[in-house]
Structure 1
Amino acid sequence: DLARLCLGASFALQNSHRFLWLKNLELAAVGGSDVHVKMLAAPINPSDINMIQGNYGLLPKLPAVGGNEGVGQVVAVGGSVTGVKPGDWVIPANAGLGTWQTEAVFSEEAVISIPSDLPLQSAATLSVNPCTAYRMLMDFEQLQPGDCVIQNASNSGVGQAVIQIAAALGLRTINVVRDRPDFQKLTDRLKSLGAEHVLTEEELRKPEMKNFFKDMPPPRLALNCVGGKSSTELLRHLAPGGTMVTYGGMAKQPVIASVSQLIFKDLKLRGFWLSQWKKDHSPAQFKELILTLCGLISRGQLTAPACSEVPLQDYQRALEASMQPFVSSKQILTMC
């Protein structure tokens, strides 16, 4: 079968799902260093939506196939391929691969093999959010067991990964989320993942929070995916000399730090983008990161976020669901 079903974008405008369509394309021949991959599942991440809208740091030439993350199974390999074999599971080595398709031919360097006994949803959501969470926990502060981390957007894919990886490292977490009708249900879920505390944005602003922080070591690391007032609150509770790492801007508002916080508390403001980390590190180092996370998954210390599997043909429903407020379930396109 030489046809592949792709979900692609012709041009980028605000209403993302209106400019995507399914199309049958001819499958390229497998060259000597190529790998024929049958995609199994691919999530819809905020970065995918941003890329379609044209406001992401990495934009493909259009028309393009959407999807930066996913898992597939190798069907065939070229004669000079040595790193993977038919039957192996593989994930993208970099963003922009185009995972929203039933099958494709990639270069060997474009994919990384992973254990095929991982849960499908964990494998499909491995290469973006858990990697971001792990690197932010490891690269900015020398955290020790018992140290505290505070984060907003704690129910996001990255947030859920932060909770679990932090718990595996013996770190304590304060997890901030927007208030919502099912707040208690969300709290129970995040605590089941290892969250020590779950607070709403409004609770974090209350004066009585001073008593709360008397019983907690002041956080040395804050992880910001929101910006605006939410990030200001994270900064307010950081320990002197602490670091806030921004990796997203859901509120579409700037990060504002007071002069006194910078001078008298010596707080550090940093940014993190996984694509830049990959540029600054070797493929072998990224492979090592992936295998570290696979180990956490195998030991039951890292699970996939709450997911809803949607057939590729129903992509419009999945895209619309992924852009709704207060959605705690990640949409995963299945290709079978």
Structure 2
Amino acid sequence: LPLKSFIPDELGATMIVNPFTAWALVAGIARKEGYRTIVQNAAAGALGRMIYRLAAKLGMEVINIVRRPEQVEELRREGARHILLSDDDRFDRELAALCKKLNARIAFDAVAGEATESLCTAMPPGSRVIVYGGLSGAKCAIQPGLLIFGGQCIEGFWLSRWLAEQGAVHTLRLASRLQKLAPDVLKTNIRDKVPLDEASRAIQMYTDNMTAGKILIIP
């Protein structure tokens, strides 16, 4: 994709997967189909923060789910209002209460495993969970009654398929639009840069703490 003159190479290297995914989920699906509130897990990651910032810019509410207490404070400093800690004993109850209060009927699931059922249980009947990641490494777990009697819907999202459906011309136009949002709404925290011969170390560093920021491998 062609980069605008104000986009440095480091930022350009992060301009495809996460920014396009955030736009597709928030604007291309949730806003387009009339949802006003989004629930998302893995909210402290780079993509989760993009989703929150983009939704806020578009006037939507976001219920953000994180795993660690320090991530709650990080998101609060960014201006997020609704943040829940998944390991808290009150989590399920608080999530259900917020979903009811804000009429949250769509969730973006980057975790899978038991998190999928947790989202389905918390939202009102007839709600929708879009699974776009599997950070837990486990299969999506769900009680069949939530689907049969609750009318909950689970579906997958794959960016490559979504882009193919948009077509090349629309994708190029969207790339230009997203680059204008890159410095703030769709910004990426670059934690470090390492030479190519240290790629294995970079991968291990990123795996050990994914929410600390991206690591660029420089040829």
TM norm structure 1: 0.58
Structure 2 gaps of 5+ residues are none
How far off its partner does 1:187 sit?
A: 2.4
Alignment-derived partner of residue 34 in structure 2: 143
Identify the structure with the greater helix proportion: 2
**Contact 2:188/2:214 (8 A) holds in 1:** no
What's the counterpart of residue 202 of structure 2?
318
**Partner Cα separation in structure 2 for residue 164 and residue 120 of structure 1:** 23
Q: Distance in 1 between matches of 2:89 and 2:162?
A: 31
- Per the alignment, residue 108 of structure 2 pairs with 223
Structure 2 CA distance for aligned equivalents of residues 253 and 198 of structure 1 = 24
Cα–Cα, structure 1 residues 221 and 207, in superposed 2: closer, same or farther, change >3 Å? closer
Relative to 1, partners in 2 of residues 1:216 and 1:308: Cα closer, same or farther, differing over 3 Å? farther
d(CA) in 2 for partners of 1:251 and 1:214? 23
Q: What is the total number of aligned residue pairs between the two structures?
A: 217
Displacement of 1:201 in angstroms is 1.4
Amino acid across the alignment from 1:303: K
Structure 1: unaligned runs, 5 residues or longer: 1-111
Cα drift, residue 333 of structure 1 = 1.5
Select the structure of larger CA radius of gyration: 1
Q: Cα distance, 1:188 vs. partner? A: 3.1
Is the counterpart of residue 198 in structure 1 residue 83 in structure 2?
yes
Choose the corresponding residue for 2:45, options 156, 160, 176. Answer: 156
Compute the TM-score of the two structures, normalised by the length of structure 2: 0.86
SS at match of 2:135: coil
Larger relative contact order (Cα-Cα within 8 Å, sequence gap ≥ 6): 2
Equivalent residue number for residue 160 of structure 2 = 275
From the superposition, tell whether residues 242 and 207 of structure 1 become closer, same or farther in structure 2 (CA, over 3 Å). Answer: closer
- Kept in 2, the 8 Å contact 1:153–1:178? The answer is yes
Distance 2:94 2:171 in 1: 39
Letter in 2 for 1:297: A
Q: CA RMSD in A?
A: 2.4
In structure 2, the CA distance between the partners of 1:172 and 1:304, relative to structure 1 (3 Å rule), is same
Which amino acid counterpart does residue 133 of structure 1 have in structure 2? A
- Aligned identity (percent) is 26
CA distance in structure 1 between the partners assigned to 2:170 and 2:91 by the alignment:
43
Cα distance in 2, alignment partners of residues 291 and 163 from structure 1: 21
Deviation at 1:269, TM superposition (A): 1.0
Structure 1 CA distance for aligned equivalents of residues 203 and 79 of structure 2: 29
Q: 1:249 to 1:303 in 2, by over 3 A?
A: same
Report the AA paired with residue 274 of structure 1: L
Letter in 1 for 2:196: L
- Name the CA distance, whole Å, in 2 between partners of 1:125 and 1:193: 20
Aligned counterparts of 1:176 and 1:192: Cα–Cα separation in 2? 15
Q: 2:189 corresponds to which residue?
A: 305
Counterpart of 1:122 (choices 11, 19, 23) is 11
Report the CA distance between 1:257 and its aligned residue.
Answer: 2.4
Could you say which structure has the higher strand fraction? 1
Amino acid at match of 1:150: V
Match of 1:47 in 2: none
Contact 1:246/1:270 (8 A) holds in 2: yes
* 1:1-336 alignment runs, 5 A limit: 112-141=1-30, 142-143=33-34, 147-179=36-68, 183-184=69-70, 186-203=71-88, 206=91, 208-209=93-94, 212-213=97-98, 216-297=101-182, 300-325=184-209, 327-335=211-219
